Amino acid sequence: MPHKIIIDTDPGIDDAMAIAYAIAHPDIELLALTTIFGNVRTHEATRNALALLEHWGATADVAEGESAPVAITANEPGYLVHGRNGFGGVEIAASSRPAHDLDAAQYMIEATRRHPGEITLCAVGPLTNLARALERDPDIVSRVKAVVVMGGAVHRKGNVTPVAEANFWNDPHAADAVLGAGWPLVLAPLDCTMPVLFTPDYMEAVARENPKLGKPLSEMAAAYSRFYRSHLGLGGCVPHDVMAISWLTVPGAFRLQKGALAVIADGPAIGQCIFQPGGTKSRATIFDGRPDHLVMVDTDPALFLADFMAVMTRHAA
């Protein structure tokens, strides 16, 4: 049976990679993209989501989400990393299709009511929409099949501050609420994303194997790689958001730890994800009453890269 998924997204170059993978994978049924601020502003994320789906011939719904964090003033979008249009300057024609009548949080609530126990929420941006869904309908935790979140840094340093990853930094209160909820959750932090690099040669091969999906991704990756080269000295780009989707289809590529998670919501460590391994205790009261979740703490890059290429090749055929 295919994985029914909703991707909560702020497209974004690595978001586009994750969306392409979901469209291409034969075992994934992409129900919807719900949009959020982060790499771009929310209305720009909605535009980008609709444009990608039309460009790639996919018919999933698009539901627009929250335009500001739960409690903090919104940070500037990640234009430095993803370009002013979110795609590194690569032009994807706008779609004339409108967004869904429901907002993102309500869309998740209604979809899980229609398909209880069947839908996985794959959140690859700030977690504001998921936090709002929890506020409106706490019972959603019992109706989702799973929640997979790309965000945080557990044993690694952050990517926007020494301790914070961008998605959690952009709405720490939402991230803390989502990680503290009792739904079955898997976290894909920087620990599992940073070991993987999409090199220019690799992305050119993806474009050759699957021109429709791969060519725009290769062009976006070239711009993304310029950021990684200039800021981190890397010879490619990191496909962070793909991890939240590939966990469903190639879980053997990841090493897991189990434990409780929390997010610091203010002060100099705002956005920091902290982790208490399962079976251990500490004097940190922040973990009191919190469930243990699974954390993807490392990746087999060869297996991950082989799977991504195989999915793209299979779809092209």
Residue 191 token pair:
């620990």
Q: Give, as one character, the DSSP assignment of residue 139.
A: T
Instruction: For residue 240, indicate whether it is catalytic.
Output: yes
What's the distance, Cα to Cα, between the start and end of the chain in Å? 21
Catalytic status, residue 10: yes
Helix (H) or strand (E) holding 20: helix 13-24
Tell me how far CA of residue 195 lies from CA of 37, 44, 169, in angstroms. Answer: 26, 30, 21
Token readout for 221 is 């990756």
Sheet strand arrangement including 28-35: 61-64, 28-35, 3-9, 119-123, 146-150, 185-188, 292-299, 254-263, 273-277
List 10, 14, 103, 176, catalytic entry: 10
Which of the following is catalytic: 3, 240, 293, 315? 240
- Sign of the Cα torsion 148, 55, 17, 275 reads negative
Q: Using alpha carbons, select from 59, 144, 148 the residue that is nearest to residue 109.
A: 144
- Measured between alpha carbons, how far is 35 from 287 in angstroms, rounded to an integer? 30
Distance between CA atoms of residues 131 and 117, nearest Å: 19
Residues carrying an active site annotation: 10, 240
